[in-house]
Amino acid sequence: GDSVTQMEGPVTLSEEAFLTINCTYTATGYPSLFWYVQYPGEGLQLLLKATKADDKGSNKGFEATYRKETTSFHLEKGSVQVSDSAVYFCALHSGGYQKVTFGIGTKLQVIP
């Protein structure tokens, strides 16, 4: 079945540091890939997505590239801010049924 593996946290960075959160997947077919973010006390919200190989999703300074050859979708940001502190979930959606597989989530803490 489908699966998503992402690095476990927590990840603690200083403000303006470079961020990478690794995500790899296993899926049948050609899934769409997502990063969702969950700020403290809130539900998940879509951060970015990519629907086919070599697509790059980007939003709020975050980027992730759909790499079919390495089955990866790593999240990056060049300079993190304290307001980026949240839990980040990698996810995939494959097949016709609207069912999404989520990774375990990576907690990011950015300190001033």
**Which residues form the interface with another protein (CB under 8 A)?**
32, 34, 36, 41-46, 49, 51, 89, 93, 98-100, 102-105
Half-sphere exposure of 80 (CA within 13 A, CB side): 23
- What is the closest distance, in whole angstroms, from the C-beta atom of residue 19 to another protein in the complex? 20
- What is the closest distance, in whole angstroms, from the C-beta atom of residue 32 to another protein in the complex? 5
With respect to another protein, which residue has the nearer C-beta, 19 or 57? Answer: 57
- What is the closest distance, in whole angstroms, from the C-beta atom of residue 112 to another protein in the complex? 25
Structure tokens, 77: 């940001």
CB 16 within 8 A of CB 79: yes
